[in-house]
C-alpha cells in the first residue's frame, strides 16, 4: 500500500465533470453523456475520490438554465457513475435536481450558492440524507461582479458562510454532513481570494470541513504566461492543493486530477518521512 493510501490527513480530491457547453475551462468537451461518463471514470482512475457532476455553468455572466434542462444533461451521468461505484457529487443550484440526483445515488450536493439560489435546497438535502457542500456567493453569475466589495473579506465570508450553515441545520441537515467552501472567484477579486487562502485557519474555526475550489480560476492567470489556456493554470492549482493540504482541508476540487494526485502524493511522502526515523 502506498504512502498516498495510508497517510491519514490528505485531502480528498473532487474531480470536475462539466456537462455544459459554456463552462469557462472546458465547456462542451464532455457535453455528450457518454463522454461525461467516460471522463468521470477516467478521473477516478487518475485518483479522484469524488466526482462532481454539473450541468449549469456558474462562471461570471453565464446564462441561467432551468432545472429540467440541467437534469437532461446530468442525471444519466449521475446514474451511470453511481452504478459503477463512483462517489458522486451533484453540482447544482436547483433543489429539484439535487433530489433527483440523490435518488440516483449521488452522495453529495455541491451548491455554490449555499442555498441562496433556491430556498428549498437545504430541506431537499436534509430529506435526501446526504452531505451538503455550502458555497459562499453574493448575487448571481450575472451580477456577482457588483458585489465584490469587502472591508474584511475573511471575516465577512466567514460570517456569511456561518449563516448559511446555520440555516441548513435549521432545515434539518445534520452539522456533521456540512462542508464549507469559501467560493473563490464568486463575487471576489484576486486579492480577496488570496486573503481567504491565507486564512484557512479562520475558515476552519467555523467547525465544518473545508473544500477549496481554486482550479483554473481567473485569479491564477497572473501566475502563468500571458495568453495561456485555462488548463495552463493546473500547475498553480496543484501547488495550492498542497498548501491547502498543509492546513488540513477536507478536500480540493480540481480539473486535472492526475497532476493534483502526484503533487499531493509527493507531499504525503514528505510528511510521512518527517515523522519517521528512517
Tell me the catalytic residues. Answer: 217, 253
Rg (CA), the chain: 18
Kindly give, in sequence order, each residue whose CB lies less than 8 Å from that of residue 223, ignoring residues fewer than 6 positions away. 233, 236
DSSP alpha helices (H): ranges in the chain?
A: 3-6, 33-46, 67-83, 95-103, 121-128, 153-170, 190-198, 200-204, 234-246, 257-274
CA distances, 132 to each of 28, 178, 187, 258 (Å)? 27, 5, 21, 25
**CA-based end-to-end distance of the chain:** 18
Instruction: Please say whether the beta carbons of 11 and 249 come within 8 A.
Output: yes
Amino acid at each position: 500500500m502506498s504512502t498516498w493510501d495510508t497517510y491519514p490527513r490528505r485531502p480528498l480530491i473532487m474531480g470536475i465533470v462539466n456537462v455544459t457547453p459554456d463552462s469557462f475551462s472546458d465547456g462542451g468537451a464532455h457535453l455528450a453523456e457518454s463522454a461525461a461518463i467516460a471522463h468521470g471514470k477516467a478521473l477516478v482512475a487518475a485518483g479522484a475520490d469524488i466526482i462532481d457532476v454539473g450541468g449549469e455553468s456558474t462562471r461570471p455572466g453565464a446564462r441561467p438554465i432551468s432545472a429540467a434542462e440541467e437534469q437532461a444533461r446530468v442525471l444519466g451521468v449521475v446514474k451511470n457513475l453511481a452504478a459503477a461505484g463512483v462517489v458522486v457529487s451533484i453540482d447544482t443550484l436547483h433543489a429539484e435536481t439535487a433530489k433527483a440526483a440523490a435518488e440516483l445515488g449521488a452522495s453529495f450536493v455541491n451548491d455554490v450558492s449555499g442555498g441562496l439560489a433556491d430556498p428549498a435546497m437545504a430541506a431537499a438535502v436534509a430529506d435526501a440524507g446526504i452531505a451538503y457542500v455550502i458555497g459562499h456567493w453574493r448575487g448571481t453569475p450575472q451580477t456577482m461582479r457588483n458585489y465584490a466589495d469587502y472591508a474584511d473579506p475573511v471575516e465577512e465570508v466567514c460570517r456569511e458562510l456561518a449563516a448559511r450553515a446555520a440555516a441548513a441545520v435549521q432545515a434539518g441537515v445534520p452539522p456533521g454532513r456540512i462542508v464549507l467552501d469559501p467560493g473563490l472567484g464568486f463575487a471576489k477579486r484576486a486579492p480577496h481570494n488570496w486573503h481567504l487562502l491565507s486564512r484557512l485557519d479562520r475558515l476552519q474555526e467555523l467547525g465544518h470541513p473545508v473544500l477549496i475550489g481554486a482550479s483554473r480560476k481567473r485569479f491564477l492567470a497572473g501566475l502563468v504566461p500571458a495568453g495561456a489556456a485555462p488548463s495552463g493554470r493546473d500547475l498553480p492549482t496543484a501547488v495550492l492543493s498542497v498548501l491547502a493540504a498543509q492546513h488540513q482541508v477536507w478536500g480540493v476540487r480540481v480539473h486535472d486530477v492526475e497532476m493534483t494526485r502526484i503533487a499531493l502524493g509527493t507531499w504525503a511522502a514528505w510528511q510521512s518521512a518527517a515523522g519517521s526515523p528512517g
